[in-house]
Amino acid sequence: MAKLFIDGVAHEVNEGENLLHSVLSQQLDLPYFCWHPSLGSIGACRQCAVISYANEEDTRGRLMMACMTSVTDGMRISLKAPLAENFRTTVIEWLMENHPHDCPVCEEGGECHLQDMTVMTGHSFRRYQGPKRTWQNQDLGPFIGHEMNRCITCYRCVRFYDDYAGGTDLAALGSRDRMFFGRFEDGTLESEFAGNLVEVCPTGVFTDKPFAQSYTRKWDLQTAPSVCTHCSVGCNVFPAERYGEFRRITNRYHVEINGYFLCDRGRFGTHFVNHVKRIKHAGIKESDNIFEFGDPDRAIEQAASLVDDHTIGIGSPRASFENNFALRELVGKENFCIGVNDQELEILNAIIKVLQSDEIHTPTLQEVEQADAIFIVGEDISNTAARTALSVRQATRLVSLELAKNAAIPTWQDAGVRDHAQHERNPLFIATPAATRLDDIAKDTFSGSVNDILDVVYTVSDHITDETTDEQQFAHQVAQALCNAKRPLVITGSGLASVDLIHAATHLCAKLNDTGVKISLLVVPPEVNSIGVALLGGDVSLSSALTRITAGSSAIVMENDLYQRESKATLDKALESSKLVVLDHLEHSTVEHATVVFPATTIVEQSGTMVNYESRAQRSFQVFEAKSEIQPAWKWLNEIATKLAKPLGWNTYEELLDRCAESTYAELLEVAPSADYRIRGALRVPRQTHRYSGRTAMHADVNIHEPKTKVDPDTPLSYSMEGLNPGTQNGATIPYTWSPGWNSNQSVFKFQQEVGGKLVSGDPGLRLITPNGMKLPRESKNALSNDRNDNTLEVIPIHQVFGSGELSNYSWPIQARSPTPCVLFNQADAEKLRLAVGSGAKVAGLTESLEVKVDTRIPAGLIGVPANLFREMGSTLGFDQIDHDPDFVAKSKTSENLIAKG
């Protein structure tokens, strides 16, 4: 610790960090632009000037940039000295020379860091008389709007996009006062993290394009703390609502998980909530796919009539823990199926074993960023758990921080660290069937089938103890790197649908553990609540559930499109004349088979708990009330049970949660405060900002009467602007970040213990699994049979961050961004089949043709198919089962490069 005197007042700060960081950590205001807590300092904007004094006698001092100055013990600075204040005002005056006066029509208005800083410095009168510079903007694709005239040249965009996220198609172009930040030509930004530009840009250059289509000021949005529903990482998000519609997602800071950044599936994937295929009413099937809507009571009656003691309940890994619990309560554990196919069930059980073992640590993403050697086994994390890939990218930079320290360069001095370390990276090894978007930072890659990868992993295991092997070998290098690292990490997952991979990775980690290496293992499950629903458990597998349904059992399917789980042929047969009650958000293939259908709320319209890959249970609070008859599945289920005269015993979410915690995990109650939680003993946390545009405008889409404030019985949040959001409350209940003078997302530091640290009251979420003494199995693999031959291709599922997520595929921006479903070949195989890149291929078993792509890494003998079509085909395809489709038309080229260039 160091003592820092700021305007004569002593503060305890961390020695060696930069002054700006220290000042902000003391909750003091100091304007800045180019600095970012995750991106460090570069000293470009010169906004954070302070006066530094040599000693107590020094009254003149020297002007310096806080972000570029290391804190030393006893240092004396002033934020308020006239020279510092005047200089900072002048910097804003310079920045505003060319900034347009378009705040009233700018998407950033009201949450603009530039607006805030301009007000903070007091610059209000324009003295510059020259013309303003103007630019031609670019079309950057479906996600990001571009308005270069607003640019203040802080360089944050390129520093995030290129330096931090590894993007290559956004650049600082031009020079002097003609700096342009964009692509070399119009086109979709390729990085799956491009959406963060919206929040990284301190003004309105890069904006949320889908949000702009139905725009609302930040102060008129209703928000609540929520969890991203699009993969198993569990990033914290703020979904926002206006007029009963979902509007946008912004990042909700969580130091251990997403930090300041989200992936674009998470940011743009939730527009499915407004999809035209939303089920809005309870319906009863009359005949041939014709449902009669409008009488929910009769639907409940009808559903109740189908339920008996043998009714199967099929839950879902994308439904909340509580909803799954509710269904399990209704049908009984003996009739409950968690809603994943048998292969996936096996994988989830293997992951739970890893989580239960105290031999291997499952890291948070914050810990992933500290891993000094990483081996990725089979999983294409850029596509299945994208935020993880961003953390892996940071981890490979650890060595550069070490080099910087040795050269006396502060680690926060970002440009200096990068210039000094150049291309030095920590070892990252990737063994996957095809190229990935982390290959550019990998020390080495291995390409092969699942069996080939298994071979490599077991060989790595062997090399840990046997050092006599070939040093050039991939496996040897991996073994060396993992053994020599302080914090080695193995990452695998369910992406290749192989439990063997998880066993192999576990085996490798157990072996490393035996030799004294403290190893971490991150296994990526498929969906947002896969681990939660697996922990809840059910006695019925999906295959036996389908068998029983075929045999005549009725079934309740909740928030699950079974067509995402099993092949169309299997399901068409099983559900042909089934008695099916379906509760879900959207009209999907399973709904077509329903006898009764109920409209269920999505994650943003209900409260619930999701359990992420590390078994961290996180509460997602309801943002707004769904329109029409849509209500949470647990309510429908209780109404059905009540009709059967067997009420489940809850009327509110709170009561459901109590019951759920009582019979499953008591910790669920500690994940977030209960509905009676009040701030200062009396106040709820408001979902609306204190600047919400008046109650008569709340439902301006309907009328201008002031609605009665609805009391929320389920959560400590209010559907109102009344209450307090001081940041000191329980971290799970922060509905938005805002602080006096800080209207933008930059205000998050006011909610942290220190800049980039924990939230004031700690980080939300609790791990449900406490590791126990259970030993991991160490058995080696059985001999693997490789049934590949010259006439067949082994089928490999290929995941797409845009295109493989079930719900996000209903989100229109994601649809616009998704590539044409494609089939990946090795060059030689494509030539053998006489298929040109970009042409269409008819694949046996599929109704639609796929676009032909050649991957630089996929070995001959493998064929990559879209993950969501994988279940439709066998494990191998004959060359004669693939044909050229002369009529094929690929989607427009906007989505190029989603397959890694390799």
Partner 1 sequence: MSLQDKQPMVGLVDEQAGPLSISEYERHGGYTAALQALSQKTPIEVIELVKEAGLRGRGGAGFPTGLKWSFAQGEPATPGYKYMVCNGDEMEPGTFKDRYLIEFNPHLLIEGMILGSFAIQAEKAYVFLRGEYFDAYSALDEAIKEAKAKNYLGKGIFGTDVNLDLRIHSSGGRYICGEETALLNALEGKRAQPRSKPPFPPASGAWGRPTIVNNVETFCNVPGILRNGAQWYKDLGLTEDAGTKLYGISGRVNKPGLWELPMGTPIREIVDEHAGGMQNGFKLRGILPGGASTDFLVEEHFDLPMDYATIQNAGSRMGTGTMILMDDSICPVDLSRNLQHFFAQESCGFCTPCREGLPWVEQLLAKIENGEGEEGDLELLDQNALYIGAPGNTFCLHATGAIEPLQSALKYFREDFEYHIKNKTCPYKKKQVNH
Q: Which residues bind partner 1 (CB under 8 A)?
A: 42-47, 49, 62-65, 68, 86-87, 90-91, 94-95, 97-98, 127-130, 152-153, 155, 172, 174-179, 403, 407-409, 413, 415-416, 419-422, 424
- DSSP per-residue letters across 597-660: EEEB--GGGS-EEEE-TT-EEEEE---SPPSTT-B-HHHHHHHHHHHTT---S-SSHHHHHHHH
Compare residues 403 and 724 and give the one whose CB is closer to partner 1: 403
* Nearest distance in Å: CB 87, partner 1: 6
Nearest approach, Cβ of residue 390 and partner 1 (Å): 23
3-state secondary structure 243-301: CCEEEEEEECCECCCCECCCCHHHHHHHHHHHCCCECCCCEEEEECCEEEECCHHHHHH
Q: Which CB atom, from 133 or from 217, has the smaller least distance to partner 1?
A: 133
Listed residue (236, 238, 270, 365) closest to 671, CA to CA: 236
User: In terms of CB distance, is 201 or 562 closer to partner 1?
Assistant: 201
Nearest to 239 by CA among 660, 584, 606, 742: 606
The DSSP secondary structure of 152-188, one letter per residue, reads ----HHHIIIIIIT---S-EEES-TT--EEE-SSS--
Query: What's the min distance (Å) between Cβ of 179 and partner 1?
Result: 4
- In residues, how long is the chain? 902
Helix then strand then coil, in percent of the chain rounded to 5, is 35, 20, 50
User: In the bound complex, what is the minimum distance in angstroms from residue 151's beta carbon to partner 1?
Assistant: 11
617, 321 Cβ separation under 8 angstroms: yes
d(CA 368, CA 522): 9
What are the two backbone dihedrals, phi and then psi, of residue 156, each rounded to the nearest 5 degrees? -65, -40
Cα–Cα distance list, 550 to 547, 595, 658 (Å)? 5, 15, 36
Whether residue 2 contacts residue 75, with contact meaning beta carbons closer than 8 Å, is answered with yes
| Residue 514 CB, nearest approach to partner 1 (Å) | 38
Q: Least Å distance between CB 54 and partner 1?
A: 14
CA distance linking residue 14 with residue 164, whole number of Å: 25
409 or 574, CB closer to partner 1? 409
SS (H, E, C) 727-778: CCCCHHHCCCCCECCECCHHHHHHHECCCCCCECCCCCCEECCCCECCCCCC
User: Tokens standing for 67?
Assistant: 């972000």
Q: How far is the CB of 414 from partner 1 (least distance, A)?
A: 9
Nearest to 495 by CA among 438, 440, 431: 431
**CB of 163 vs partner 1, minimal distance in Å:** 12
Output 87 or 888, the one with its CB closest to partner 1: 87
- The structure tokens listed for 818 are 């998704």
Query: CA-to-CA distance for 725 and 728, rounded, in angstroms?
Result: 8
Closer Cβ to partner 1, 61 or 244, answer by number:
61
Rg (CA), the chain: 28
Decide whether 50 or 617 has the Cβ nearer to partner 1. Answer: 50
For partner 1, which is the closer residue by CB, 47 or 804? 47
CB 500 to partner 1: min, Å:
43
* Closest to partner 1 by CB, 177 or 466: 177
| Residue given tokens 């804003």 in the structure block | 92
Backbone angles phi, psi at 530, to 5 degrees: -55, -45
Nearer Cβ to partner 1 (308/424): 424
- Considering the complex, what minimum distance in angstroms separates the CB of residue 398 from partner 1? 16
Whichever of 418 and 891 has its CB closer to partner 1, that residue is 418
Q: Cβ-count burial of 10 within 10 angstroms (0-12 exposed, 13-18 middle, 19+ buried)?
A: exposed
Q: Which is nearer to partner 1, 135 or 253 (CB)?
A: 135
CB of 157 to partner 1, least distance (A): 14
Q: Which residue has the tokens 């305890």?
A: 12
Task: Determine contact, residues 750/727, Cβ cutoff 8 Å.
Answer: yes
Q: Least distance in Å: CB of 601 to partner 1? A: 48
Q: For residues 31 and 765, which CB has a smaller minimum distance to partner 1 in the complex?
A: 31
Taking the complex as a whole, the smallest distance from the CB of residue 247 to partner 1 amounts, in Å, to 34
Tokens matching residue 92: 């804003």
Residues 6+ apart with CB under 8 A from 719: 222, 624, 625, 687, 688, 709, 710, 712
In angstroms, what is the minimal distance from the CB of 162 to partner 1?
Answer: 11
CB of 43 to partner 1, least distance (A): 6
What three-state secondary structure class fits 893?
A: helix
167 vs 315 by CB, closer to partner 1: 167
Closest CA to 520 of 392, 418, 666, 415: 392
Considering beta carbons, is residue 153 or 820 the nearer one to partner 1? 153
The whole-angstrom separation of Cα 476 and Cα 461 is 9
